[in-house]
Structure 1
Amino acid sequence: MVLLLLGSGDAKAGELSQRLANFPQWEKLTSVQSASGDLIYPEWMAGTWQVTSTLVDLAAPLAPDIVTPGFEGNRRQLNQPMSFLVRFIKERYLRRATPTPVTGLKLFSRIDNKLAILVADRAFNSLNLAKAYLGDKAVLSVKVDPDSPNRQITFLRGERQLVSIVTARATESTSDGKFITTEVFQQLFKGGSYPYFNSVESTTAYQLLSTSNPAIEADQVTAVYLSPQDPDYFAAGSRPVALYRYRLEFFPAELPATPKE
């Protein structure tokens, strides 16, 4: 389970869309850049959405020799839609000032110039996603590092934790209007008999539709790779050990009206 552009670059032209088309023939993505700041989304994704997520395909490319924990259990979710809320919010950040040299001095003409960007509400989205798949009682909270949107912890019942760090990402915009993102996560599961590490890549192609029912659709593939700590790491090489493909549908959320004061 993955808890779904400052300083991050675009992928090579067409690489991410071709990657989705090549499912399940995947290798580790090499063109991503180190994650810095947050992932910026297009304006048409702003707001709160009711998302229906359906697992439509899955594969274990290295089975039966290597199979990740939970893969067979996840097979039961095939073609079973799950629903949860997500939201994308405006955030303001301080744009870097431009120095203006004047007779040997550097004067900064604008030091308070702020730019609004659209980002995912990671704590809200991850909490709702985790509760949808694991149940309300299994998930306690999600905390995002206040110093970095790329680091978060999901607290689970039984003193278990999922530590997730976005280490790399890439984006791509296609001629037919799709916005494609890739984020690579390092994950650590704590609280079991022994810690479990892995690496996860989530690649998603979003597209705005001409209707509101749904308003946005997305094709998402989650790929799970072994970490260097795993004894099967060298046997797996650059190949994923599990792949999950989802169809996402975004509907405008009907939120309760705010009581008047």
Structure 2
Amino acid sequence: MKAIWTFSLIIFYLLGWSGTAKAGELSQRLANFPQWEQLTSVQRAEGDLVYPDWFAGSWEVTSTLVDLVAPLAPDIVTPGFESNRQQLNQPVSFLVRFIPQKPPITGLKLIPKIDRSSILVADRAFNSLNLARAYLGDEAVLSTKVDPDSPNRQITLLRGDSEALRRNRQLISIVTGRAIETSSNNNFITSEVFQQLFKGGSRPYFNAVESTTAYNKLAKSNPAILADQVTAVYLSPQDPDYFTAASRPVALYRYRLEFSPTPLD
């Protein structure tokens, strides 16, 4: 459960954006870490992720947990939080890629100043599978699937433990809201909120997660892209501590992401 929890916190940082935030709202939110009191303002998630052109191609991503905070401890601490300290300052690397896709006609209105025959999106299944196996191991992750009818719904199938070999575990994640903020051609910030359901344990486990990430394209260097990411965990109404936590996050994780270009066959 602890390893799965670690994975569930980071699996969606490549899942995209739509909707525009007020100027400076997301950058200020990152600057205010760890003083977060509630979910950020987002719009309903529609359509697929659209990345700037400079994300095109294949990358080796190195993700490093650089800070973690439990704002409501010791009264409320999420499962796996203490064990996640072992990940602090330990880089984890995996491959990702971004591919062109023809945009839906109705989706163009969601993407400011986009008018071209294709848009750039993440290869969702490939990226998430590589990320999951980097954290959990090849044997622990059976598959990752994206709903063909909705890029905002993803299911990751995990191998059951020795006491539950007859049933595999599932992590179901549904993106419900997103926002973006751009300050220049080389910088953009995304925030998305998603609901998570973990099935396969003694009982289903629900939560809500917000991931806010600032990407910066570097000039002629390696890594070529740096990102500052904060992932916040909020309790779901099914949790007995939900009303005690109110709107406040119960766990905050800060990551440094480094993107280095790499060829893939």
Structure 1 gap segments, 5+ residues each:
97-112, 257-261
User: Is the Cα–Cα contact under 8 Å of residues 11 and 31 in structure 1 kept in the other structure?
Assistant: yes
- SS of the residue 2:78 aligns to: coil
- Who is 2:24 aligned against? 14
- Who is 1:153 aligned against? 155
Going from structure 1 to structure 2, the CA distance change for 1:34 and 1:136 (only over 3 Å counts) comes to: same
Report the number of matched residues. 241
Q: Does 1:37 align with 2:47?
A: yes
User: Is the Cα–Cα contact under 8 Å of residues 95 and 114 in structure 1 kept in the other structure?
Assistant: no
Post-superposition shift, 1:253? 1.2
Q: Which runs of 4+ in 1 moved over 4 A?
A: none
CA distance in 2, matches of 1:64, 1:242: 12
Q: Does 1:53 align with 2:63?
A: yes
- SS of the residue 2:64 aligns to: strand
Of the three residues 35, 38, 49, the one matched with 1:25 is: 35
- The structure with the largest helix share of the pair is 2
- The structure with the largest strand share of the pair is 1
User: Is the Cα–Cα contact under 8 Å of residues 6 and 36 in structure 1 kept in the other structure?
Assistant: no
Of the three residues 121, 131, 134, the one matched with 1:132 is: 134
- Who is 2:250 aligned against? 241
TM-score by length of 2: 0.87
- Who is 1:109 aligned against? none
Amino acid at match of 1:222: T
Of the three residues 231, 239, 244, the one matched with 1:230 is: 239
Of the three residues 162, 165, 168, the one matched with 2:171 is: 162
Q: How far does the alpha carbon of each residue in 1:83-135 deviate from its partner, in whole angstroms, 9 at most, with x for none?
A: 00111111102425xxxxxxxxxxxxxxxx97311111111111111111111
CA distance in 1, matches of 2:47, 2:185: 27
User: What fraction of aligned residue pairs are identical, expressed as a percent?
Assistant: 76
CA RMSD of superposed structures (Å): 2.0
* Greater C-alpha Rg: 1
Structure 2 gap segments, 5+ residues each:
1-8, 107-114, 161-167
Post-superposition shift, 1:166? 0.3
- Who is 1:64 aligned against? 74
- Who is 2:10 aligned against? 2
Q: How far does the alpha carbon of each residue in 1:26-84 deviate from its partner, in whole angstroms, 9 at most, with x for none?
A: 12234200101012110001111000110000000000000000101110000000000
CA distance in 1, matches of 2:65, 2:17: 32
TM-score by length of 1: 0.88
User: Is the Cα–Cα contact under 8 Å of residues 16 and 192 in structure 2 kept in the other structure?
Assistant: no
